[in-house]
Structure 1
Amino acid sequence: MSIAPAELTDRLGRWSAGRGPLYLLLAAQLRRLIDEGELPPGTALPPDRAFASALAVGRGTVVAAYEQLRVECRIIRRQGSGTRVAGPSRPEPRPTTGSPVFLHLLEPQDDDVILLACAAPASPPPILLSAYERALSQLATITSDIGYHPSGLWQLRRAVADHYTHRGLPTDPDQVLITNGGQQALSLLARAFVEPGGTVVVEAPTYPGALEAFREQTASLQTLPVGLDGFESAARAARGPDLAYLVSTHHNPTGAVLPSLLRRRLAVAAAHADVLLIDDEVLAHLAFPGQRIPPPVAAFGATVVSVGSLSKSVWGGLRIGWIRAARRVIDRLARLRAVHDLGGNLPAQLAAAYLLPRLEGLCQDIAADRQTRHDHLRAELARRLPQWQAPPVTGGQTLWVRLPHGDGDSFSQTALRHGVAVLPGSGLDASGGSKEFIRIHFLATPDTLSEAVHRLTTAWHAYGDGHDGGAPAPRSMAI
């Protein structure tokens, strides 16, 4: 299937009406058509020159836009065969794991598929039920509150502020904005501080949801190694970045923890360049027993913005996140948030206010069990797939696994056909790298992890033999 230049131009609408470089505006509109399914996988896109003529722009604009989408793995460009939307050109027996990866992971999957891609607690802990019972009793006493709190319930803002103060970062409640999860926090920051065509410095690899939030604002993503090595030079550039994004603790996906000295260097560099540095702390509390976590990056600099959430430490269905930043930043974000959302769910915020003072103890209670599952998964991989490299981590939820050959994109499709969903590394890397990696989590029970590795082993043998399109092997256990 192919689409004519004139037809595609019509579908783009007023694509050039925004601000920023034309190639980024064009890439943004094409990305939207791809992600919303208007340009299905396998669709042949117009040649560079013909498309440029239809758009009345230079060929370089089309080439640059196509290259941006190629790096994001949304299109495939091959010499002699043109440009196509990434993915199979005809329906597969199971859904794919193509971009945007973080959206696909939230869709329902077949019951017999073991999900090792999306890392989050599988069920709410008992303490959450107690928190909601307490919240409902508090709701019964409210008589003069209409329930709109655009910046968040003051009681919860105070709990978040006390949480940071306890960690060595003195914080007032008016330095806190409550959001509907960490993803909304990142989206608000991108909308508020990224100019169209502006630059955001990110790690390669990193959390894919952050990449999507920045791309939504037609940002140009500049990649640096994990830990933002080289950030000082990037921040001092003639036209410095609009934002920088970092996962400093139990990095997603590698599990790395940035030492205190490097945290200080990044915070000082950001302050000197007047660049907002986002420190994503959603995984910060998930250390294994005996592991000491350095202070928040924000403890070393006033231009650091901390983002947190209860989705990984408590439950993903509790849509409570927050932003901790300077008052001027919070004020700007609160005005923007009110335009899109007059306030979050009040019962959930009351429950979260009860949970925050107990969060450290809750995470400690489950730390040993998570380490046991981490060790079990690594042992099973070492026994059945010794060629795979799966370095240990000191916390978090995932392993960053390097395949000895092939690529994560094609192997993830093979694995899915054999009943396991894994996350290909390319979707987490804005530089176009990490193709030889996959990300898998270790939150499942030991029995489920053993069965998952069994299926991955079968898939790997099929993949290595070039039979990845065949039928899956029989399952030895129903999940």
Structure 2
Amino acid sequence: MSMDPAALADRLGRWSAGRGPLYLLLAARLRRLIDEGELAPGTALPPDRTLAAALTVARGTVVAAYEELRREGRIRRRQGSGTRVAGPVRPGPRESTGAPVFLHLLEPRDDVVLLACAAPDAPPPALPAAYERALARLREVTGDIGYHPLGHVRLRRAVAEHYARRGVPTEPDQVLVTNGGQQALALLARAFVGPGGTALVEAPTYPGALEAFREQAAAVRTLPVGLDGFGRAVRDRGRRPDLAYVAATHHNPTGAVLPPLVRRRLAAAAEAAGVPLVDDEVLAHLAFPGRDTPPPLAAYGRTVISVGSLSKSVWGGLRVGWIRAPRPVVDRLGRLRAVHDLGGNVAAQLAAAELLPRVESLCADGAADRRARHDHLRTELARRLPDWQAPPVPGGQTLWVRLPHGDGDSFAQTALRHGVAVLPGSGLDASGGSREFVRIHFLADHATLTTAAERLARAWRAYEGGEPDRDTPPSRALAV
């Protein structure tokens, strides 16, 4: 398949109608066409000069846009073979859907062990019980049409009490309920980081956050994990970011936990500079036994914005998340949300309100099992792949594994051909680094993790032996 420059220009539409650098606006529009399946995997894109002429822009604009998409893994650029949308469609019934290319990570082939997307693989018994209590409450509802753009008051109150128990006094009107943590990040990106704006993130970081910022055609700047150098970055008036994003507790993907002193410094620097600081707390409750974690980042600063969700602590199918923020921020986000979404599922919110007072104990109940799975996977990797570096983590769900040589992108493709999906590090690093890393979760049962380690070892032998690089959808993109 080859895309005619004029036809692509038509599909791009009014791509330049926005604020910010042209290359970011062009990359954002191309990204959407790729993710929505309008540019199919394997499609040959026009050469730089040809597309630039069709769009009447400088060649450098196209080159820079293509480079953004190449770093994200959405396109491939090879000398002699041009530029193509990453990964031709695999044969089989799943490919007839025209779904975005990242969905092969969420819905893999039946024979693939999925270690790229981390989430509990079954709802706990407490969830059906919570729904039963929620449905009983629904039977009593009168005088309520069911639209709650800011979230059902019962859940907003439960979230406020959840933070108060953790040392962060919170009122219900400081809480906005969302359809999961990803919607929360998308709303924050839309509110604070428009086209041409700048988001400051860790490198590496959660790829869903990068997707949210890039969807707004924003530039992304990076600092090391823990945001070392944050004070200088937010004081630089010429390059001050519009928003900063951090995962202070059980960082995705490294598992790091920021100490209290660093939290205090980050919160103080952000407040002094007037930069919104977003703390992703989705993994905060997943500590291993005997591992204490500091108070939330919001305990150290009045302006810190917290994002939470039950997708990791309970189940990914419970699409309930929230934003805790100062009241004016919640009001602003509520107006933005109402434009696209008049409210979430009330039954799910009532069930979440039943669960939230118990979420710490639910996570504690499963902590020993999570640590056992973590230890088992590390043991299997050490036995079969002794040259790999897989440091232990104090909690969370993933290992950040350094390969002894090569790069995670090409190895992830080899691994997928051997029946195991892992996430290459480049998709989590906006700086273009982390190419020697892969992210692997340890939530599967012991037998599955053993199988995965066996397949990874076979894949590594094939990779080292120079197995031919057959085109396969890369294991990048919106992983969780």
- The TM tier, using the shorter chain, reads over 0.9
Residues 264, 300 of structure 1: 8 Å contact kept: yes
The residue that corresponds to 2:202 in the other structure is 203
Amino acid at match of 2:197: G
Between the aligned partners of 1:362 and 1:115, the Cα distance in structure 2 is: 24
Gaps (5+ residues) in structure 1? 471-479
Q: Residues 435-450 of structure 1 correspond to what in structure 2 (within 5 A)?
A: 435-450=435-450
Would you say 1:377 and 2:377 are equivalent positions? yes
Q: How far has the Cα of 1:448 moved from its partner?
A: 1.2
The verdict on how the C-alpha distance between 1:132 and 1:114 changes in structure 2, with shifts beyond 3 A counting, is same
Instruction: Give TM-score scaled by structure 2 length.
Output: 0.93
Task: Check 1:199–1:104 CA distance in 2 against 1; reply closer, same or farther (3 A cut).
Answer: farther
Aligned 1:66-81 pairs, distance under 5 A: 66-79=66-79, 81=81
2:156 alignment partner AA: R
**Contact 2:233 2:239 (8 Å CA) reproduced:** no
Residues 1:159 and 2:195 are matched in the alignment: no
What does 1:366-445 align with in structure 2 at a 5 Å threshold?
366-445=366-445
What aligned pairs does 1:216-235 form with structure 2 within 5 A after superposition?
A: 216-235=215-234
- Contact (CA 8 Å) 2:401, 2:440: kept in 1 or not? yes
Aligned to 2:476: none
Contact kept, 8 Å, 1:249 with 1:258, in 2: the verdict is: yes
The 3 A distance-change label for structure 1 pair 387 and 366 is same
Equivalent residue, structure 2, for 1:179: 178
**How far apart are 1:93 and its partner, in Å?**
7.4
CA distance in 2, matches of 1:17, 1:367: 49
Question: Is residue 101–residue 208 contact of structure 1 (8 Å, CA) maintained in 2?
Answer: no
Q: 1:235, 1:275 within 8 Å by CA — same for their partners in 2?
A: yes
Residue 473 of structure 1 aligns with which residue?
none
| Contact 1:5–1:50 (Cα < 8 Å) also in 2 | yes
Note the C-alpha offset of 1:95. 8.4
Of the structure 1 ranges 231-240 and 433-442, higher mean CA displacement relative to structure 2 is found in 231-240
Corresponding residue number in structure 2 for 1:23: 23
Corresponding position: 1:14 with 2:14: yes
Residue type of the partner of 2:422? V
Aligned to 2:286: 286
Residue type of the alignment partner of 1:281 = E
- For residues 113 and 404 of structure 1, the distance between their equivalents in structure 2, rounded to whole angstroms, comes to 24
RMSD in angstroms over aligned alpha carbons? 1.9
How many pairs are equivalent? 466
Consecutive unaligned residues of structure 2, counting only runs of 5 or more, are 471-480
Deviation at 1:64, TM superposition (A): 1.9
TM-score, length-scaled by structure 1:
0.93
Deviations 1:367-413 (A, max 9, x none): 01100110011011101110110000000000011111221111112
Secondary structure at the counterpart of residue 144 of structure 1 = coil
Deviates more, 1:435-444 or 1:230-239: 230-239
- 8 Å CA contact 2:34, 2:100 repeated in 1: no
- Kindly indicate whether the alpha-carbon contact (under 8 Å) linking 1:102 and 1:208 is maintained by their aligned counterparts in 2: no
TM superposition shift of 1:79 = 4.6
How far apart are 1:75 and its partner, in Å?
Answer: 2.4
What amino acid is the match of 1:224? L
Give yes or no for the alignment of 1:194 onto 2:183: no
Which structure 2 residues correspond to residues 233-382 of structure 1 after superposition, within 5 A?
233-237=232-236, 238-382=238-382
Contact 2:37 2:100 in 1 (8 A): no
* Aligned equivalents of 2:340, 2:429: Cα separation in 1: 29
Describe the SS at the equivalent of 1:294.
coil
Distance change in 2, residues 1:102/1:392 (3 Å): farther
Partner-residue secondary structure (3-state), 2:353 = helix
Measured against aligned partners, the alpha-carbon deviations of 1:432-471 in whole angstroms (never above 9, x if no partner) come to 211111111111111111111111111111111122569x
CA distance, structure 2, for counterparts of residue 144 and residue 308 of structure 1:
30
Give the CA deviation at 1:269: 1.0
CA distance in 2, matches of 1:469, 1:346: 48
